[in-house]
């Protein structure tokens, strides 16, 4: 277990730092005073003050971070603006978050998730440019007898072109698209000789293990794949192609994750795959053993997840604050302090429930609940 801790800490430090720096960047851009920039919670391990008076620090509990603004009592509330204004002189008011125009507050809050998406984009772009991307077409070498693929009409030597409307640019895409699909029926577009056919396949779910040896429920259709003409096509891409494929990967992971979460809410997806810090620590340690490239790739996916989750309209998350700003824009005034506090209580309950659920899954994954 201890071999997982260092990779996990490195991953969290980088991803959380980038997220918080997104908030910090826009805060400084619009003249908001920043008193604290913290990675982790709890007691400070070490830190320093910069020339602007910001305390940069690392704390003992590495499960997040925060940027604290000058005069921050309830940083995202303007409901008690008059009380706040009376406590500060004119120069100090220029640094208060709550007195900034709505669009600036929106950008400061949105800056965190935006930074996470940009980090993932930079990682994918760098991999595709300097390491390369697999662009080997997916050919079906074998169709298992009585499998969903055979029942659905897939045949040996078919070339998979699309899965659920997603173009299959690499043999590696096939497993990813099947796994991320939450529909009962998956649409396969295949090339057979000179014809292009669309086939409907109903996958089955079986207990299995991932490449790291972790127990998962895997969706399969019963095919074995090979390279087109037995040639692996792994190429380094130019800047334009790299940015295109990197953008597509960030977009696909984001949309697929939202669909998967939606399916879990409505009971159509496997909730046992939802994990928390313990599972992330375990997987990050396992992935680190495969080398730096695999670890950095995982960091990109975790960064997307962090950015995406923070945009959920749950009070206490960035998305909750953006929801308040949407109300403010529509109503022409902030929600009352009492209303905001009510929303925050609901948000805290939802987050605690989610933490309990993911922790239970993590402990079950470790074999403590069988």
Q: Is 160 exposed, middle or buried (0-12, 13-18, 19+ CB in 10 A)?
A: buried
Phi, psi angles (nearest 5°) of residue 52 = -85, -5
Write the CB contacts of 317 (distance below 8 Å, at least 6 apart in sequence). 309, 310, 311, 347, 351
Which tokens in the block code for residue 347? 């948000």
Non-local (6+) Cβ contacts of 182 within 8 A are 259, 260, 262, 263, 268, 269
41 bridge partner residues = 61
Catalytic annotation on 142? no
Tell me which residue of 223, 220, 226 sits closest to 143, measured CA to CA.
223
DSSP state, 236?
Answer: P
Q: Which of these is catalytic: 20, 92, 196, 289?
A: 20
Contacts for 73 with CB less than 8 Å, ≥ 6 apart: 84
Question: Would you please indicate which residues are annotated as catalytic (active-site) residues?
Answer: 20
């Amino acid at each position: 277990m201890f071999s997982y801790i260092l990779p996990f800490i490195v991953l969290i430090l980088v991803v959380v730092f980038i997220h918080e720096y997104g908030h910090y960047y826009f805060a400084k851009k619009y003249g908001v005073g920043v008193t604290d920039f913290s990675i982790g919670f709890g007691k400070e391990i070490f830190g320093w003050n910069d020339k602007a008076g910001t305390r940069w620090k690392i704390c003992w509990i590495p499960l997040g971070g925060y940027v604290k603004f000058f005069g921050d009592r309830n940083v995202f509330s303007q409901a008690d603006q008059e009380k706040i204004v009376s406590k500060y002189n004119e120069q100090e008011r220029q640094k208060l978050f709550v007195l900034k125009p709505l669009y600036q507050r929106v950008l400061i809050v949105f800056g965190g998730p935006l930074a996470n998406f940009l980090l993932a984009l930079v990682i994918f772009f760098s991999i595709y440019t300097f390491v390369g991307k697999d662009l080997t077409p997916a050919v079906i070498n074998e169709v298992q007898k009585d499998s969903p693929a055979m029942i659905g009409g897939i045949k040996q030597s078919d070339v998979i072109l699309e899965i659920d409307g997603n173009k299959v640019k690499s043999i590696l895409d096939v497993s990813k698209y099947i796994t991320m699909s939450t529909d009962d029926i998956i649409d396969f577009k295949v090339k057979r000789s000179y014809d292009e056919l669309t086939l409907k396949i109903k996958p089955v779910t079986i207990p299995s293990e991932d490449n790291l040896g972790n127990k998962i429920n895997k969706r399969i259709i019963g095919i074995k794949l090979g390279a087109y003409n037995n040639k692996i096509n792994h190429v380094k891409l130019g800047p334009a192609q790299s940015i295109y494929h990197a953008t597509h990967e960030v977009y696909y992971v984001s949309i697929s994750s939202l669909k998967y979460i939606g399916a879990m809410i409505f009971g159509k997806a496997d909730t046992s795959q939802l994990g928390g810090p313990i599972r992330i620590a375990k997987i990050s340690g396992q992935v680190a053993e495969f080398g730096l490239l695999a670890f950095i790739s995982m960091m990109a996916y975790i960064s997307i997840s962090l950015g995406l989750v923070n945009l959920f309209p749950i009070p206490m998350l960035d998305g909750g604050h953006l929801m308040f700003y949407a109300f403010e824009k529509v109503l022409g005034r902030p929600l009352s302090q009492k209303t905001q506090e009510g929303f925050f209580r609901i948000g805290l309950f939802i987050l605690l429930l989610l933490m309990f659920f993911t922790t239970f899954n993590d402990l079950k994954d470790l074999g403590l609940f069988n």
